[in-house]
Structure 1
Amino acid sequence: MRHNKSGRRLGRTWAHRKAMFRNMARSLVTYGRIKTTEAKAKELRSVADKLITLALRNDLHARRQAYRVLENHQLVKKLFDEIGPRFVGVKGGYTRVVKLAVPRAGDCAPMAVIEFTRTAGEEPKPAKKKPAKAAKPAAPTPEAAPAEEAKAEAPVEETAAEAPAEEAAAEEAAPEAPAEEPAEGEEPKAEDKPAE
């Protein structure tokens, strides 16, 4: 039994698997996306995510740890200077595995594409706020339904008849324009004098 033995063996020895994932990690950093079998892509995810985590730390020790995997100074520089800054402020989910519909021609193995989730120059999306749940209105009882329909129809008819009356009332209630103030030296007219 394989208790506490995580990961897929992929039909290879430990050294062969380690070398294969190093090669695949180099290709992923170089090209940004690679096509491989689904099982290999899922296993490569953990290797690639650890490399991005090192790039986010961005110190000398992290660069040396990344060099142990990539074994290429140019790729380490690209990882830390170009790929790592894309994921600042992002907590995980640096890679995605997309399954392809067509299997491999030779052995019918399921294929997939593994790629980084962000492209160069892409802005991080703001976090979505969940809208507050509105209270559901109570379900009308069958007896109340006809009364509500009658109420809903009645205001439409009344508003059409009341509209001209409301406009006339609004015109009557409108305050009169203020009278002109007399110029200096003139006495106010009888209309302008306040009532005593």
Structure 2
Amino acid sequence: MAGYRKLGRTSNQRKALLRNQVTNLLYNGKIVTTEAKAKEIRKIAEHLIALAVKEKDNFETVKVTAKVAQKDKDGKRIKEVKDGKKVTVYTEVEKEIKKDMPSRLHARRQMLQVLYPVTEVPAENAGKKKNTKEVDLVEKLFTEIAPKYVDRKGGYTRIVKIGPRKGDAAMEVLIELV
């Protein structure tokens, strides 16, 4: 007897399906799917949230100086002539960045193995590539989702039965973050 559901798919199809569903669950907060799929999604999602809760504060802030190109009002780089060549003008800027500790970095990489990259398209630009943004779901897990569940010891998702699906009478459920 297997320790997981096969869902009537080959292993690579099943893995892709579950990755997609977990990504959508964490991005949207809830999804509608079948009961068997929801129970498999719950295992993966709860593991990722538990990792995020465990490693949420495991970083240090570091001050870094970086060279940044100066830009004019149009957003183009400012260039000046030195020794007959056009050279970009740079200024030094100090920034504070979060540096992950080794265990948090490992957790981040484990999450990236499961989650697909998400691009957010504004409503007014639907169907266009312009002004799309990459959403960092791992950072969302660490900064938004994990702080909500610090006091909980598991049980981060809830499965609510909706009823049988019209086509094949499969039990449909709503899986959501608690």
Return the structure number with greater strand share: 2
The answer to whether the aligner puts 1:68 opposite 2:147 as a matched pair is no
Return the structure number with greater helix share: 1
What's 1:10 paired with?
A: 7
Q: Secondary structure at the match of 2:176?
A: strand
Aligned equivalent of 1:104, options 165, 170, 174: 165
With normalisation by structure 2, the TM-score equals: 0.61
The answer to whether the aligner puts 1:31 opposite 2:11 as a matched pair is no
With normalisation by structure 1, the TM-score equals: 0.55
Task: Pick which of 17-26 and 50-59 moved more.
Answer: 50-59
Determine which structure has greater relative contact order: mean sequence separation of CA pairs < 8 Å that are 6+ residues apart, divided by chain length: 2
Aligned pairs for 1:1-196 (under 5 A) are 2=1, 5-58=2-55, 59-72=104-117, 74-101=136-163, 103-117=164-178
How far apart are residue 71 of structure 1 and its match? Answer: 3.5
What CA RMSD, in Å, does the superposition of the two structures yield over aligned residues?
1.2
| Bigger Rg over Cα | 1
Distance 1:68 1:42 in 2: 20
Query: What amino acid is the match of 1:60?
Result: L
- Deviation beyond 4 Å, 4+ runs, structure 1: none
Q: Secondary structure at the match of 2:3?
A: coil
How far apart are residue 13 of structure 1 and its match? Answer: 1.1
Gaps of 5+ in 2: 56-103, 118-134
How far apart are residue 79 of structure 1 and its match? Answer: 1.3
Q: How many residues are paired up?
A: 113
Q: Secondary structure at the match of 1:7?
A: coil
Show CA shifts across 1:107-129 (max 9, x none). 11110000111xxxxxxxxxxxx
How far apart are residue 46 of structure 1 and its match? Answer: 0.2
Show CA shifts across 1:139-194 (max 9, x none). xxxxxxxxxxxxxxxxxxxxxxxxxxxxxxxxxxxxxxxxxxxxxxxxxxxxxxxx
Q: Secondary structure at the match of 1:100?
A: strand
Distance 1:71 1:28 in 2: 12
How far apart are residue 57 of structure 1 and its match? Answer: 2.2
Task: Pick which of 21-30 and 72-81 moved more.
Answer: 72-81
How far apart are residue 21 of structure 1 and its match? Answer: 0.6
CA contact (8 A) 2:20 2:116 kept: no
